Structure 1
Amino acid sequence: MHPSEQSASSQSIAAAVKDLMHRKQVPERQQSKKLGEILNLSYSQAHRKLNTGADWTIAQLQVVAEYFGESLASVGLGEVTAGSDGQPAGMMEQGLFVAAAGQHEYPCVMWVGEQLHTARRVDFVAYQDKEKWRVVETLQCPDNVVRYKVNKLEIVLKQPHVPTVAVVDDEQGFADNMRDFLNESGFKATVFYNATSIERVLHEGATFDGYILDWILGQRTAEGLIKQIRYSASPAAPIFLLTGEVASGLADEEELARVITQLDVQIREKPVRLNQTFTAELHKAFGA
């Protein structure tokens, strides 16, 4: 496929995905965030897919379609695709790949070729069972079905959701250490070194499963940022508030108590011990 044709195809798919989200009442400002959640992508990766014609895989489209309870045709794929030689690779269908002599089944996308009228050997065959396509090894195919050649097969493995966490701290070394610790502990962390940068991302519609915020950010506290999070698309997201300035007097205890009560945040004193106990607290709070 010529690069310009590939780009046009990706852009048309992106437009179809946007239309699907619109039909499913996902606000336009929330679409990149929602796609990131569905495909386990960062906000910027999802935004590029929807807006700059970044390439899509069949597996990604399958996941999007299944999430919204739609068929692949709803996310911009035609019924016939071309093979590497430019000839039709077959009809693209959704179905189940049957493995281990029927003990396991996996969602898949298949390209169904011609009907097989002879016993010639092919690796996999497809057949319809109660209006659902199944793919099996040739020797495992029932005798009393119409079988078709499988030209191409993609198995779709669903990935577990990885909680996303925003880390906001103007002490860059601490923020980077926290990000690395979270990423190694089963989270997907994004770091921001000032309130302005995350406020801009939130304004664009991004949300996170949880937030870890330093209380004092430059010349201001995080109260305004916390309020913005509480009025965002994920108002109930857990917020961990960090401060090491209570003893020095830079952090007002009365102000902190008010924020904890009114804005439902949890407070931890710096330096935070990055250990299994802290990891367990985060997993429990973020529902992981």
Structure 2
Amino acid sequence: MNENTDAQKVFDLLSQYGIKPRQHAKTVASILGLKYVTVKQKLNGDRGFSAEQIKKIEEHFKNEVTSNWNAITYISSIPTRCHAEIGEKITAPFAVPIVARKENNIWYITSSKDTLECLEYYKVNRIDTRPAPKVVVLDNDISLVKFATMFLANNGMDVSGFTEPAKLNEQLDKNEDFECFILDWVLDDRKTSKEIIEKIRVENKNVPIFILTGELSNDKTIDNEISEMVSKYNTIVLEKPIKPKIITAQLWNILFRQSTNF
């Protein structure tokens, strides 16, 4: 096999799935179980990839690509995370159905009907939609759960609402792949969300957890308890009544603007 052609094929494959060039060697080394220096030589064309190695890299991305995303579509009224293969810059964006533009290091895919002359646009060679981020809302107030579910869903999130901690625990036991939790601190019978937070953190050290409370200024005990959750489990506090625009912006920064593949 032609070694330079093999290296280009691997380069194109990694780029297609949003892996930045500086991460190529580290990524391939992890997939193939090779030393970083060896992979660098292969990617530089100094050494070849075997057919088996290329196949292993391809199979890895076929298995992992469902969670990989590098862009946000704004084609409909509800934004969607996606994986997009971005092409060259285009001078006549209105001549194609959809276009890509980059803003603050984020790719946005929009209809060409929404283009502006003052902005630069790029061709979209391919686009694959990804599942909406799964968000949990737990509160014993059913009206709040319904309200939060509505405005978060309208902003591209897949929301599971709960009014009973036991129901949420059942879902956690099923290893549901939730990407964010919004939990009321004081539940029924003055029980708190402490046990649920501890359970979440056992399985996932980094998933964002928001604590809802309306009693920080009135109850020193609650103040101390939540302070412990913040320092021990890196939770984020939101005071009631919830403000839709603020909480949506916070979740957007985490769930839509922090892909490692931008």
TM-score (norm 1): 0.44
Structure showing greater Rg: 1
Tell me which protein shows more helix as a share of its residues: 2
TM-score (norm 2): 0.48
User: Which structure would you say has the larger RCO, counting Cα contacts within 8 Å and 6 or more residues apart?
Assistant: 2
